[in-house]
């Protein structure tokens, strides 16, 4: 792998004075970092720019100013195919093509390493089958992706990132459109991936309880500033009160929720 010698690197991903936005600034002064094999949640009110942050981190959106560095190199300097090996993105919802098999969908994840027509080799073919087992979709390879349930499709979307085999996986509200059973399945899957695959996972969520329980670190996009820390210390500092502008909402440190 391109960067395996950095696996213990403390600064896999560094954000320095980052301002998000294209024509106008959406959110500014983000200073944060992510280490190898960490699980990080991004929390914040609707419309603060969680999606924009994640999309900027993987080069889908340009950012206004500041720095995003992966392995000490600014992402603007990465070639598209190199970037794809370091970071992958799971959108909260993707268009689903009809008559496209799950296997073929996962085969597109090998984009940066396949030949000109996109034919995958034996090794990737095995990898896809293994990944299907990992995400609990064993035997689904020939299924038409438009017939998958929302929960199954979200697992398939996570499988794409695993097949892409990037060091960092970014997920935009992975459980937003799911019922409670699927929410738990996806959460368990993410925890599993973080533990066993040594991937750095950054996901946006509104579920604070989940974030506190699951994550090594939380990035709070508060209404008056960005804060990053471990869940315990954030609770101690009372930082969660700064997520919402509404001062009537108080975070209960025992229940892990707003009251």
Partner 1 sequence: MKAKGKYFTIYSLIIISLSIFITLNLLLGSVLFPVKDIIAAIFGGEAPEYVSNILFSHRIPKAITALLAGAALSVCGLQMQTLFRNPLADPYILGISSGAGLGVAIFVMGFSAFGITLSSSIAANVGIVVAAWLGAFGVTLLILMVSSRLKESISLLIFGIMIASVTGAIISLIQYFSSSAQLKVFVVWTMGSFSGLSPTNIWIMFIVILTGFAMTVFNIKDLNALLLGEAYAKSLGVNLERTRRSILVATTLLAGSVTAFCGPIGFIGIAVPHIARMLFRNADHKVLVPATAILGATIMIIADTISQMPGQPEVLPINTVSALLGVPVILYIIMKSKIT
Residues that bind partner 1 (CB under 8 A): 55, 58-60, 80-85, 87-89, 91, 94-101, 104-105, 108-109, 111-112, 114, 116-118, 142, 144, 160, 164
**In angstroms, rounded to a whole number, what is the distance separating the alpha carbons of residues 17 and 85?**
25
**Nearer to partner 1 among residue 115 and residue 224 (C-beta):** 115
**Nearer to partner 1 among residue 146 and residue 192 (C-beta):** 146
Which residue's structure tokens are 């990037």? 166
**Least Å from the CB of residue 19 to partner 1:** 21
**Least Å from the CB of residue 58 to partner 1:** 5
Cα separations (Å) of 244 from 17, 89, 175? Answer: 22, 27, 21
**In angstroms, rounded to a whole number, what is the distance separating the alpha carbons of residues 246 and 86?**
38
**In angstroms, rounded to a whole number, what is the distance separating the alpha carbons of residues 177 and 90?**
13
**Nearer to partner 1 among residue 68 and residue 87 (C-beta):** 87
**Nearer to partner 1 among residue 60 and residue 184 (C-beta):** 60
**Least Å from the CB of residue 217 to partner 1:** 22
Cα separations (Å) of 193 from 8, 85, 179, 256? Answer: 17, 17, 21, 24
Output the CA angle 222-227-229, nearest 5 degrees. Answer: 135
**Least Å from the CB of residue 164 to partner 1:** 7
**Least Å from the CB of residue 160 to partner 1:** 8
**Nearer to partner 1 among residue 43 and residue 87 (C-beta):** 87
């Amino acid at each position: 792998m391109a960067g395996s010698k950095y696996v213990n690197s403390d600064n896999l991903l560094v954000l320095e004075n980052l301002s998000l936005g294209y024509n106008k600034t959406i959110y500014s002064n983000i200073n944060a970092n992510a280490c190898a094999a960490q699980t990080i949640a991004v929390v914040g009110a609707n419309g603060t720019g969680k999606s924009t942050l994640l999309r900027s981190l993987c080069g889908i959106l340009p950012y206004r100013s500041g720095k995003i560095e992966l392995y000490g190199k600014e992402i603007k300097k990465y070639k598209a195919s190199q970037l794809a090996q370091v970071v992958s993105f799971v959108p909260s919802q993707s268009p689903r093509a009809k008559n496209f098999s799950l296997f073929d969908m996962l085969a597109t994840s090998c984009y940066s390493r396949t030949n000109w027509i996109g034919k995958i080799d034996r090794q990737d073919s095995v990898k896809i089958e293994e990944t299907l087992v990992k995400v609990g979709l064993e035997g689904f390879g020939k299924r038409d992706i438009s017939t998958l349930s929302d929960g199954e499709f979200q697992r398939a979307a996570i499988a794409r990132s695993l097949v892409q085999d990037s060091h960092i996986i970014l997920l935009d509200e992975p459980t937003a459109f799911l019922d409670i059973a699927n929410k738990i399945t996806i959460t368990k899957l993410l925890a599993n991936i973080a533990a066993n695959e040594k991937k750095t996972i950054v996901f946006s969520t509104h579920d604070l309880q989940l974030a506190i329980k699951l994550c090594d670190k939380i990035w709070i996009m508060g209404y008056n500033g960005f804060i990053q820390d471990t869940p315990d210390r954030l609770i101690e500092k009372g930082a969660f009160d700064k997520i919402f502008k509404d001062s009537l909402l108080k975070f209960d440190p025992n229940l892990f929720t707003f009251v």
